[in-house]
Chains A and B, each alone.
Chain A
Amino acid sequence: MPAESLGPLHSLPIRRKRAATGLRRTYPYKLNAADIRRDFPILDRRVHGKPLVYLDNGATSQKPRVVIDAIRNFLENGCANIHRGVHLLSAEATQAYDRARATVCQTMGASRPEEFIFVRGTTEAINLVARSWGDLHIQAGDEILLTEMEHHANIVPWQFLARRAGAKIRVLPITPDGALDLDALPALLTDKTRLLACTHVSNVLGTVNPVSEICRMARERGIVTLVDGAQAVPHGPVDLGAVGCDFYVFSGHKMFGPDGIGVLYGRGKLLDRLPPWQVGGDMVERVSFEESTFRPPPDRFEAGTPNISGAIGLGAAFTYHAGLDWAVLRAHEDALVAAAHEALQSIPGLRIQGTVPGKAPVVSFTMGGIHPHDIGTILDSEGVAIRAGNHCAQPLLARLGIPSSARASFACYNTFEEVETLAKAVWKAHRYFG
């Protein structure tokens, strides 16, 4: 993803005010973070009497005013069901819904909106593929290749599929610094491998995987690929042509959109042949008590009234997101990671999990015998919101040899001042329990 990745920023000189926590940086690029922050009303909130420092963006991002307004405007002025009304409001709602799909399609460098199916989120998208594509194509003895850094959402649906079909799950391991071990990949792509499912960006390590290369290797062997983009889409536009996968899935709520809406992209030729997984209204052509026929994608996969306001909110989020200057913001996010690593590494006993260069702004760490939940509570008392736990990646944490970790995950609206507040709060936890 970091196409214009900005390696040199990692080595920018840091001027220290005080030892360890006293980071002060001048922006090495033209960015006024206050401009972006103004778009997100919640960032003015106070928590326990302190300014909110929201570093749980990997769990969900905050929402800009334009997204909140788009949803409210629909509910206040345009609410109607889609596809089935002859009245003006229904026609407008249908248009808005279709426009949201077109926006997503266009922003991701594709040309066929019908390849983009609205779902509840990443989890539902993967379940859809495992049910619809998986039950059609996976047979006894087949292999499904996953990686050691997958989120539970990209493990359990395949486990269920493998059990149904009598297939086998195989796992591509990671290297000690938290990258996929690509040297091990060729041997795992066997003549039995039918599917490779891989995350674009690790929600724990921040590692940005070379998904284009991985998908190319799989495609050369006729293996279908699914890429979990949940942690990738928030950090800049993703060009699906460059990724080269068959399925790409993500949630709206991690990239400034509302919760309860996400996207399954599927290559048209694959989608056209797939059976529906949920059936009912709005996705059928003819229905009798004996038989039903189904509409083409995307409708075939969107049974019932969809999340219309969510789709409209997601469309607004995509428009907002695509309008940002990502060359600058990627540099900013890279610099935030570098600053966070620098500030945290000097704290005794602190260990950062995932140090692959060019990583996304996700910083997971453990600190000696201090439990991540206690770190999380101390940080919360300073207004700093992070995640503590296993991050829905138990196999990865088992591989890392830790039961849980603390995770600070950044968005483009975070600042160096917030990195400093984070580091001070972690020092406080160290003093409290050290």
Chain B
Amino acid sequence: MDEYLEQLYQEIILDHSKRPRHERELDPCTGRAEGYNPLCGDKVTVFVREEEGKIAEASFLGEGCAISRASASIMTTLLAGLTAEQAHAKAREIYEMLTKAEEPRIDLAENGEIAALAGVRKFPARIKCATLAWHALEDALHGTEAP
């Protein structure tokens, strides 16, 4: 495979897109939200279940490209045990990694597979694919904040 494409479609991404983790509806859940990209018609629904102020479980359902599915799948593996605040901070890290002009300084040990998404920043048209599930996650968490 060529180097150019490998920046985008790393093994981890292809693996998650072909065999996504936590691709199911979560019932019961404490929050759910839909992300929609009108440019491509992609839809993702993110489910979260919070227990005692922490995310116990997260899942997703949706239609989308390899990048959006992999991003959603990897995201659901990272959330267990985080508070809503920590999850928002994680989302902001991802947006920064994808949109900042400088090379991202992402810690592989700390962030694991999500660092594989860093290559997306070289494909401007695909950044929204990578952020779709994260925006939905933030909405799902906001949903639970309301009394």
The verdict on A373 contacting chain B, using a C-beta distance below 8 Å, is yes
Say yes or no: B65 contacts A374, CB within 8 Å.
yes
A381 interface neighbour in B5, B17, B65, Cβ under 8 Å: B5
* CB under 8 Å from chain B, chain A span 376-434: 377-378, 381, 388-390, 394, 397, 403-404, 432-433
A409–B1 CA distance with the chains assembled, in angstroms: 27
Given contacts A371-B66, A381-B2, contact A394 B41 (CB under 8 A): yes
Q: B40 on the interface (CB 8 Å rule)?
A: yes
Q: What chain A residues lie within 8 Å of B4 (beta carbons)?
A: 48, 381
Contact present for A433 and B66 (CB under 8 Å): yes
Give chain B residues whose Cβ lies under 8 Å from the Cβ of A374.
9, 65-67
Checking A48, A371, A403 against B43 with a beta-carbon cut-off of 8 angstroms, the contacting residue is A403
Chain B residues near A381 (CB, 8 Å)? 2, 4-5
Chain A neighbourhood of B9, CB < 8 A? 374, 432
A371 contacts B41, CB within 8 Å? Answer: no
Residues of chain B within 8 A (CB-CB) of A397 are 41
Question: Shortest beta-carbon distance, B49 to chain A, in Å?
Answer: 28
**B43 nearest in chain A by CB position:** A403
**In the complex, A394 Cα to B38 Cα: how many Å?**
10
Number of interface residues of A (CB under 8 A): 17
Q: In the complex where A378-B5, A403-B63 touch, is A373 in contact with B126 (Cβ < 8 A)?
A: yes
User: Which residues of chain A are near B42, meaning CB under 8 Å?
Assistant: 371, 373, 403-404
CA distance A50 to B127 in the complex (A): 24
Secondary structure dominating the interface of A? helix
Of the candidates A377, A389, A394, A433, the one having the most CB atoms from chain B within 10 angstroms of its own CB is A377
The CA-CA distance from A233 to B17 in the complex, in Å, is: 41
A372 within 8 A of B: yes
Contact status A373-B65, CB under 8 Å? yes
B14-29 at interface with A (beta carbon < 8 Å): 14, 17-18
B5:A390 contact, CB within 8 angstroms: no
A397 to B123, CA, bound (A): 26
A91 to B95, CA, bound (A): 54
- Chain A residues with CB under 8 A of B31: none
Tell me the nearest residue of chain B to A402, going by C-beta.
B41
* CA gap between A433 and B17 in the complex, in Å: 9
- B43: chain A residues at CB < 8 Å are 403
Q: Are A372 and B40 in contact (CB under 8 A)?
A: yes
Complex Cα gap A389–B39 (Å): 7
Interface centre among A374, A397, A404 (most CB of B within 10 A): A374
B67 CB contacts on chain A under 8 angstroms: 373-374
- Complex: chain A residue closest to B129, CB-CB: A373
Measured CA separation A372–B39 after assembly (Å): 12
Given contacts A381-B2, A390-B40, 8 further A-B contacts (CB under 8 A): A371-B64, A373-B126, A373-B129, A377-B5, A377-B123, A388-B40, A403-B43, A404-B42
Sorted nearest first, the 6 A-B pairs with minimum C-beta distance are A371-B65, A373-B65, A403-B41, A390-B41, A404-B41, A389-B40
The residues of A with any CB-CB pair to B shorter than 8 Å are 48, 371-374, 377-378, 381, 388-390, 394, 397, 403-404, 432-433
**Between-chain CB contacts (< 8 Å), 7 pairs:** A371-B64, A371-B65, A373-B67, A378-B5, A403-B40, A432-B9, A433-B14
